[in-house]
Amino acid sequence: MAAIRSYRDLDAWKLAMQLAEGCYKFTGSFPKSEMFGLAAHIRKSAVSIPSNIAEGHNRRSRAAYASFVGIAMGSQAELETQLELAKRLGMGREEDAVRLLDSAADVGRVLHGLRSALGNPLPPDSESRARKEQP
């Protein structure tokens, strides 16, 4: 395995960049009325993933890096939701939406692995615990 010298060497960043490129191409066919709506949200979420990976990597603190990977994970989940909505609304080609959803899921798995490797994994039941703690 090659040494990681830059965020550009990270598989997570490379996959996220490919996903962002695909999202820009996908949303290019959306109706003009959606350019400031769902298309803009998809693009913003997609760009946020590799951007946060890069920023976290360059912080040079494991805790900060893990935090930025966590933000990227949130953007990845947000993107999946937006792509699913676009698919349900019939925006873009359905096969493109399905392909992007698969790519987003792949990015999510890699991000979870990266977060775990940084020594700050999410607890498996964090969602259920958060619901119990709410008043």
Q: Domain with 55 in it: what CATH number?
A: 1.20.1440.60
Structural domain tally of the chain?
1
- Residues 71-107: tens digit of each pLDDT: 999 999 999 999 999 999 999 999 999 999 999 999 9
> pLDDT above 70 covers what percent of the chain?
87
Residue 99: CB atoms within 10 Å: 14
| 133/92: higher pLDDT | 92
In a domain, 129, yes or no: no
In a domain, 2, yes or no: no
Round to whole Å and give the CA distance between 23 and 13: 15
Report how far apart, in Å, the C-alpha atoms of 8 and of each of 46, 55, 62, 120 are: 16, 11, 18, 22
Question: Does the pLDDT value for residue 135 go beyond 70?
Answer: no
- Output the pTM of the full model: 0.85
Identify the sign of the CA torsion 25, 30, 34, 35.
Answer: positive
Share the mean pLDDT of the chain: 89
